[in-house]
């Protein structure tokens, strides 16, 4: 390591002396990076990439950790640039999740050393509480209506509704009977069935009924999970306009950012995209051309707080607001960091929130809390989430992959 990259004498206590990756499965798989400094301050970051967990664990253990030892933990920006530029091979979910884990752990350490909750280092709070949306899902229309009403009872002001579709054996986003929706169920991918026409005929009926039942106040959201062509997406957005959705998410696979020009010309339904994005380059056109309303990039998959802040700042120039991904495959560590970010970010929109299981919460003790439709980050120095490594060790990794979708004729589609 070059002299400039080493800690100087006066900063010896900030030197990174150790780092390790903990892979555990308290109900589902999580990858967590733990970084230690000379002074004994420990920071943790989430590196979970659902269905591809071990690739990030290896990237960290084999390629990143050796570069961290001896470095100054306070130089978050320089470490970020080193890992991003220094690898030569840029971007991608594995690389960016690994960088995110380092970045989150270093912000945790910096905030702990400052004796402040993380939001203070970002610039302090812009709001008192963080609006979240919950996930209601049912096997058919009536069941979904009941579930949405149940979420309303629990105090949610914003509710995502997903439903089984008549004629389709399976649909995206439908749980298997409890509060803990988890799509990655099997060692090899489950094959689900898809038919865009059946779906597009059904969804407006669902939202017509939902709007009737919940009244005008409740914010309703829906995730199309990348299944449409641009023209179909435009038509779906238009057909949902009377039901005043808060957002319609992931209409088409967004590596084709230009597709949103077509969609945008045809519908005023607010659009949200970005849970699979890793860098600002994935959403530059979408933001600069004002083709979306909410950017859903996360701390864990988009390069950590350092990079997510850049995305949010670009979005802010165009009145695009944040709506970070927060499914259960993002660990409580990501949720903790996200809530500090959400408390600060000026152009905040909403945060996705799916409850983790009790066991997951035990493995990752945290100080954030849910209260009647809103989340609150805590005041503990750092991001407020820790890892019980002893308990984690009792729940080892289980290979699991996300499902795939096929059309009725067998053609592989986007899940």
Residues with active-site annotation = 172, 225
Which residues, 335 to 394, sit near ligand CS2 by CB under 6 A?
A: 352
Per-residue CA distances from 226 to 102, 248, 299, 332, 413 (Å): 30, 11, 21, 26, 9
Which residues, 202 to 241, sit near Mg ion by CB under 5 A?
A: 223
Angle at 280 between CA 274 and CA 283, to 5 degrees: 45
Using CB distances below 5 to 8 A depending on partner kind, what does residue 274 bind out of Mg ion, ligand CS2, none?
none
The token pair that represents 267 in the structure block: 């519908």
46 binds ligand CS2 (CB under 6 A): no
Q: How far is the CB of 403 from Mg ion (least distance, A)?
A: 14
DSSP label of 92: S
Token pair 């607001």: residue: 321
- Residues 48-67, one symbol each (x = binds ligand CS2 by CB under 6 A, - = not), give --x-----------------
Residues 6+ apart with CB under 8 A from 81: none
352 binds Mg ion (CB under 5 A): no
Token pair 């594995």: residue: 94
Q: How far is the CB of 126 from Mg ion (least distance, A)?
A: 25
Per the CB < 8 A criterion, the answer to whether 306 and 103 are in contact is yes
Q: How far is the CB of 149 from ligand CS2 (least distance, A)?
A: 21
Q: How far is the CB of 412 from Mg ion (least distance, A)?
A: 20
Using CB distances below 5 to 8 A depending on partner kind, what does residue 183 bind out of ligand CS2, Mg ion, none?
ligand CS2
Using CB distances below 5 to 8 A depending on partner kind, what does residue 293 bind out of ligand CS2, Mg ion, none?
none
Token pair 């752990």: residue: 105
Minimum CB distance to ligand CS2 smaller for 152 or for 325: 325
Binding-site size for Mg ion (CB under 5 A) equals: 2
Which residues, 169 to 188, sit near ligand CS2 by CB under 6 A?
A: 183
28 binds ligand CS2 (CB under 6 A): no
Residues 6+ apart with CB under 8 A from 235: 200, 266
Minimum CB distance to ligand CS2 smaller for 80 or for 156: 156
Which residues, 199 to 228, sit near ligand CS2 by CB under 6 A?
A: 223, 225
Minimum CB distance to Mg ion smaller for 157 or for 275: 275
Say how far apart CA 51 and CA 48 lie, in whole Å: 9
Would you call 361 helix, strand, or coil by DSSP? helix
Rule CB under 6 A: choose which of 275, 282, 293, 342 binds ligand CS2. Answer: 275
Minimum CB distance to ligand CS2 smaller for 50 or for 360: 50
Residue 382: name the closest of 155, 58, 116, 66 by CA. Answer: 116
Burial string for 38-65 (b: 16+ CB within 10 Å, else e) reads eeebbbbbbbbbbbbbebbbebbbeebb
Which residues, 269 to 298, sit near Mg ion by CB under 5 A?
A: 275
Residue 351: name the closest of 367, 338, 368, 361 by CA. Answer: 338
29 binds ligand CS2 (CB under 6 A): no
Minimum CB distance to Mg ion smaller for 328 or for 386: 328
Residues 6+ apart with CB under 8 A from 162: 135, 136, 137, 144, 171, 172, 173, 174, 222, 223
Angle at 18 between CA 82 and CA 91, to 5 degrees: 30
Which residues, 285 to 344, sit near ligand CS2 by CB under 6 A?
A: 325, 327, 329
Using CB distances below 5 to 8 A depending on partner kind, what does residue 25 bind out of Mg ion, ligand CS2, none?
none
Residue 382: name the closest of 56, 12, 18, 73 by CA. Answer: 73
Binding positions for Mg ion, rule: CB under 5 A: 223, 275
Binding positions for ligand CS2, rule: CB under 6 A: 50, 183, 223, 225, 275, 325, 327, 329, 352, 402
């Amino acid at each position: 390591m070059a002299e400039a990259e080493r800690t100087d004498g006066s900063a010896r206590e900030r030197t990174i002396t150790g780092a390790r990756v903990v892979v555990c499965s308290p109900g589902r798989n999580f990858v967590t990076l733990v970084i230690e400094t000379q002074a004994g301050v420990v920071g943790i970051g989430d590196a979970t990439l659902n269905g591809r967990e071990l690739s990030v664990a290896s990237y960290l253990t084999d390629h990143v950790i050796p570069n961290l030892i001896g470095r100054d933990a306070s130089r978050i920006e320089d470490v970020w640039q080193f890992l991003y530029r220094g690898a030569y091979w840029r971007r991608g979910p594995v690389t960016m999740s690994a960088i995110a884990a380092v970045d989150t752990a270093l912000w945790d350490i910096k905030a702990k050393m400052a004796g402040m909750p993380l939001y203070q280092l970002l610039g302090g709070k812009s709001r008192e509480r963080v609006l979240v949306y919950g996930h209601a899902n049912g096997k058919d229309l009536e069941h979904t209506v009941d579930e949405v009403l149940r979420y309303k009872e629990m105090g949610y002001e914003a509710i995502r509704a997903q439903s089984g579709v008549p004629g389709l054996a399976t649909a995206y986003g439908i749980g298997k009977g409890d509060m803990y929706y988890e799509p990655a169920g099997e060692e090899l991918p489950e094959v689900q069935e898809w038919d865009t026409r059946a779906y597009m005929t059904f969804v407006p009926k669902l939202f017509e009924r939902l709007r009737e039942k919940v009244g005008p106040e409740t914010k309703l959201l829906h995730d199309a999970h990348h299944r449409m062509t641009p023209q179909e997406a435009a038509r779906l957005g238009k057909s949902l306009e009377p039901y005043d959705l808060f957002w319609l998410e992931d209409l088409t696979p967004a590596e084709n950012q230009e597709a949103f020009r077509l969609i945008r010309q045809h519908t005023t339904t607010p659009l949200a995209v970005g849970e699979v994005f890793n860098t600002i380059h994935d959403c530059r056109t979408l933001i600069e051309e004002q083709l979306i309303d909410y950017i859903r990039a996360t701390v864990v998959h988009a390069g950590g707080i350092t990079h997510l802040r850049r995305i949010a700042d670009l979005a802010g120039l165009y009145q695009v607001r944040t709506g970070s991904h927060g499914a259960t495959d993002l660990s409580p560590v990501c949720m903790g960091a996200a809530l500090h970010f959400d408390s600060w970010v000026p152009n905040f929109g909403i945060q996705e929130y799916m409850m983790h299981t009790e066991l997951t919460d035990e493995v990752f003790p945290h100080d954030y809390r849910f209260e009647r439709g809103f989340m609150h980050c805590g005041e503990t120095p750092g991001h407020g989430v820790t890892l019980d490594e002893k308990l984690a060790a009792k729940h080892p990794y289980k290979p699991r992959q996300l499902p795939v979708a096929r059309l009725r004729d067998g053609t592989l589609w986007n899940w």
